[in-house]
């Protein structure tokens, strides 16, 4: 069977970890494009399969109504994973926020190889390639989670070598500020476990998703035998904002975006940050998604971009802390133009994002 024939018989695209903020938003963007026929005729027969640990409480039925096929999976069961990847041409892997994420990724990759998946893309974290500089021999390494993600990247590169893989590293998302909104609105404080003079990059989820969607679209054009520009042919992308900011600069941009100038930055301890996130876990305002439609290109959050409290797992909190530790070591003061080139515009600034979503944040007053 020729390459093109085998591609025609396999018409399913799969996204893992759809019960996460990134997975849900990515799935919604693809489904929206399919509904609006943004995709062109060659993939009108394609299907989107979404993998998750649990359907309940994540609003996945909305995506099902848009045409997605949803499968609950055990990522450590290779036989089940093979079944989930039947007829799949491309997989977008979003590593799990679990202590077994490495084993789960390995299972997924083996099942994908067994089912002759053509292409594996992976969402990763900015800075994972820098943690080894700060290796410590103490038990319970301070970058245990980021090192796991780094090793998963290595697996993807080895098993889907050459042009068969694409890794997108992205930073902290502006949408995390929803978790800080009750404090910002109530106490006029932006609290993060980062020293005030340390700069780090952050981005709007809308821009990350739009960038990845454009990369995926070009990948499909390549499969269809078309020529694509070199900027869409890389194997590793680093998505960053135009200008890294310190905590104090962030507080200023957030304040200007919200139309107020009294928000001050405060450096807090990791344990205080953890307490704050544990508190949000019990806050009913984060239980349901708001009903807004949103707009990816304008950076206006829809229901798919809101970080519900079910996303706050212990492992996610630990991974976030490691990321801020990296910021404190000066490793996230970085800049790349890759996202700007893919979007054909500057990524949304923090100020612009807060202007666009001002009403969403005001709900936490």
**φ and ψ at residue 24, rounded to 5 degrees:** -65, -45
Q: How confident is the model at residue 42 (pLDDT cuts 50, 70, 90)?
A: low
pLDDT at 71 > cutoff 90: yes
Q: Residue 167: what pLDDT?
A: 97
C-alpha span between 97 and 154 (Å, rounded): 18
Burial of residue 56 (number of CB atoms within 10 Å: 0-12, 13-18, 19+): exposed
Q: Residue 3: what pLDDT?
A: 44
Locate 5 and state its tokens: 């024939």
pLDDT at 5 > cutoff 60: no
C-alpha span between 297 and 207 (Å, rounded): 7
With pLDDT > 90 as the criterion, what percentage of the chain qualifies? 75
**Cα 326 vs. chain centroid, distance in angstroms?**
18
Q: Residue 40: what pLDDT?
A: 62
Please list, in sequence order, all residues whose beta carbon lies within 8 angstroms of the beta carbon of residue 114, skipping any fewer than 6 positions away: 78, 82
Local structure of 75: helix, strand or coil: coil
What pTM was estimated for this model as a whole?
A: 0.94
Nearest to 229 by CA among 242, 217, 212: 217
pLDDT at 284 > cutoff 80: yes
Q: Which of 14-23, 28-37, 280-289 has the highest mean pLDDT?
A: 14-23
Q: Residue 106: what pLDDT?
A: 96
Q: Residue 296: what pLDDT?
A: 87
Phi-psi region of 350 (alpha: psi -120 to 50; beta: other; left: phi over 0): alpha
Locate 104 and state its tokens: 């789960």
Local structure of 323: helix, strand or coil: helix
Q: Residue 4: what pLDDT?
A: 43
């Amino acid at each position: 069977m020729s390459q093109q024939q085998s591609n025609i018989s396999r018409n399913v695209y799969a996204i893992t970890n759809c019960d996460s903020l990134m997975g849900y938003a990515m799935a919604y963007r693809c489904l929206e494009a399919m509904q609006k026929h943004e995709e062109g005729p060659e993939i009108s027969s394609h299907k989107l399969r979404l993998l998750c640990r649990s359907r309940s409480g994540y609003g996945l039925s909305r995506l099902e109504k848009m045409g997605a096929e949803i499968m609950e999976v055990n990522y450590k069961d290779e036989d089940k994973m093979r079944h989930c990847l039947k007829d799949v041409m491309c997989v977008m892997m979003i590593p799990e926020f679990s202590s077994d994420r490495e084993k789960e990724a390995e299972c997924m990759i083996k099942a994908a190889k067994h089912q002759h998946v053509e292409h594996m893309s992976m969402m990763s974290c900015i800075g994972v390639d820098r943690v080894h500089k700060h290796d410590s021999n103490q038990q319970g390494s301070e970058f245990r989670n980021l090192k796991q993600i780094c090793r998963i990247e290595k697996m993807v590169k080895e098993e889907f070598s050459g042009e068969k893989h694409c890794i997108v590293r992205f930073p902290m998302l502006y949408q995390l500020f929803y978790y800080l909104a009750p404090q910002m609105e109530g106490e006029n404080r932006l609290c993060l476990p980062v020293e005030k003079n340390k700069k780090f990059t952050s981005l709007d989820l809308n821009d990350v998703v739009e960038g990845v969607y454009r990369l995926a679209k070009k990948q499909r054009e390549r499969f269809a035998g078309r020529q694509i520009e070199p900027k869409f042919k890389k194997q590793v992308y680093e998505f960053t904002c135009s200008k890294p900011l310190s905590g104090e600069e962030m507080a200023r941009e957030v304040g200007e975006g919200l139309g107020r100038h009294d928000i001050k930055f405060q450096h807090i301890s990791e344990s205080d940050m953890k307490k704050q996130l544990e508190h949000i876990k019990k806050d009913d305002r984060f239980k349901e998604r708001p009903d807004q439609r949103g707009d990816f290109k304008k950076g206006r959050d829809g229901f798919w971009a809101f970080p519900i409290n079910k996303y706050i797992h212990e492992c996610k909190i630990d991974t976030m802390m490691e990321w801020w530790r990296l910021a404190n070591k000066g490793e996230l003061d970085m800049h790349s133009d890759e996202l700007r080139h893919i979007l054909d515009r500057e990524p949304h600034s923090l100020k612009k994002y807060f202007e666009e979503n001002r009403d969403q944040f005001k709900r936490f007053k």
